[in-house]
A = this chain, B = another copy of it.
């Protein structure tokens, strides 16, 4: 029941502003004003603006990597794993809407090692995702489709889910999970 640390509060506010105006267009003074303080005071809790973005992105990316790991190791068939992946996206999106939006829009502003690390995580994740999707096709669970394009389409929809959720914030999580599964998994007849 402990309160969020001051640093976590700053990160939450920063995520909201980064999402609304973009990372580069959000100044430290903007963040400070939203926290009711002066910009230099922020530096008692964080070390730089860059670090703010890096920690926000890496933390969310790790959530996806961890979720993927659990799905891969679960005793499920490939179609069930795909379902679980879709639900994973829905859950993380609902719980961390602002930070998830940064994952699609603001990662370009990472620099140096953080950019490399992030891209490595992204590549790993997409490779795993594709493996599961292709297993679905091979095992006959899905319509014959261009696997690359299908994955691209599914991930595109999941990436933009945060914006849909923001316009429909009262949707039930379980409902949304089920609707997304039904929408995104192109099952064969029946």
**Interface, chain A (partner B; CB < 8 A):** 20-22, 24-25, 105, 108-109, 145-146, 148-150, 152-153, 156-157, 159-160, 164, 168, 179-180, 182-184, 186, 189
A182-B24 in contact given A153-B157, A159-B156, A159-B160 (Cβ < 8 Å): no
Looking at chain A's contact residues, the main secondary structure is: helix
Q: What is the minimal beta-carbon distance from A184 to any residue of chain B, in angstroms?
A: 7
In the complex, which of the residues B145, B156, B184 contacts A160, with contact meaning CB atoms closer than 8 Å? B156
Q: How far is the CA of A151 from the CA of B105 in the complex (A)?
A: 21
In the complex, which of the residues B20, B21, B146, B157 contacts A152, with contact meaning CB atoms closer than 8 Å? B157
A-B contact pairs, 13 of them (CB 8 A): A22-B22, A24-B24, A24-B25, A25-B108, A145-B183, A146-B179, A152-B160, A152-B164, A153-B183, A156-B157, A160-B160, A186-B186, A189-B189
CB pair B153–A184 under 8 Å, yes or no, is yes
CB pair B183–A149 under 8 Å, yes or no, is yes
CB neighbours of A24 from chain B (8 A): 22, 24-25
